[in-house]
Amino acid sequence: MKYYLIAGEASGDLHASNLMIALKEQDRNAEFRYLGGDLMQAVGGTLVKHYREMAYMGFIPVLLHLRTIMRNMQMCKEDISNFQPDVVILIDYPGFNLKIAEYVKTRLQLPVYYYISPKIWAWKQYRINAFRKYVDRMFCILPFEKEFFRKLNYTVDYVGNPSVDSVAHYMEKQQTSFPVFREQAHLPDKPMLALLAGSRRQEIKDNLPVMLKVATAFPAYHPVIAGAPGIDPEYYRQHIGNHQVSIVFDQTYTLLQHSIAALVTSGTATLETSLFRIPQVVCYYTPAGSLVSFVFRHFFHTKYISLVNLIADREVVQELFGKRFSQKNIQNELDRILNDTAYRNQMLAGYDEVIQVLGEPGASQRTAELIYSYLFKE
- DSSP secondary structure string for all residues of 257-316: HHEEEEEE-SSHHHHHHHHTT--EEEEE--SSHHHHHHHHHHH-S-S-SSHHHHHHTS-S
Residue span of the structural domain in which 64 resides: 2-160+362-377
Q: Which of 170, 160, 359 is CA-nearest to residue 256?
A: 170
Given phi > 0 = left and psi -120 to 50 = alpha, else beta, which region is 198?
left
What is the per-residue pLDDT for 276?
Answer: 97
**H helices of 193-243, where?**
201-216, 233-240
Shared-domain flag, residues 264 and 371: no
What is the per-residue pLDDT for 298?
Answer: 42
The one-digit pLDDT tens for each residue of the chain (378 residues) are: 999 999 988 888 989 999 999 999 999 999 999 999 999 999 999 999 998 876 555 444 555 556 666 788 899 999 999 999 999 999 988 889 999 999 999 999 999 999 998 888 766 788 899 999 999 999 999 999 999 999 999 999 999 999 999 899 899 888 888 899 999 999 999 999 999 998 888 889 999 999 999 999 999 999 999 998 778 899 999 989 889 999 999 899 999 999 999 999 978 899 999 999 999 999 988 775 565 555 555 445 577 878 999 999 999 999 998 888 899 999 999 999 999 999 999 999 999 999 999 999 999 999 999 999 999 876
Shared-domain flag, residues 184 and 83: no
Shared-domain flag, residues 136 and 206: no
Shared-domain flag, residues 94 and 32: yes
Shared-domain flag, residues 314 and 296: yes
**Coil/strand/helix, residue 317:** coil
Q: Are 292 and 286 in contact (CB under 8 A)?
A: yes
Q: Are 208 and 199 in contact (CB under 8 A)?
A: no
Backbone angles phi, psi at 283, to 5 degrees: -140, 130
Shared-domain flag, residues 204 and 146: no
Residues 6+ apart with CB under 8 A from 119: none
Shared-domain flag, residues 135 and 39: yes
**Which amino acid is it at 261?**
A
**Which amino acid is it at 371?**
I
Shared-domain flag, residues 320 and 196: yes
Q: Are 274 and 309 in contact (CB under 8 A)?
A: no
Shared-domain flag, residues 115 and 171: no
CATH number at residue 187: 3.40.50.2000
Q: Are 31 and 1 in contact (CB under 8 A)?
A: yes
What is the per-residue pLDDT for 301?
Answer: 57
Enumerate the β-bridge partners of residue 91. Answer: 7, 115
What is the rounded distance in angstroms from the CA atom of residue 32 to the CA atom of residue 24? 10
| Global confidence as pTM | 0.86
Q: Which of 312, 294, 316, 322 is CA-nearest to residue 355?
A: 312
Backbone angles phi, psi at 94, to 5 degrees: -70, -35
Shared-domain flag, residues 78 and 182: no
Q: Please count the structural domains in the chain.
A: 2
Strands, E assignment, the chain = 2-7, 31-36, 46-50, 87-91, 112-115, 137-140, 157-158, 192-196, 222-227, 246-249, 259-264, 280-284, 319-321
Shared-domain flag, residues 195 and 279: yes
Shared-domain flag, residues 43 and 92: yes
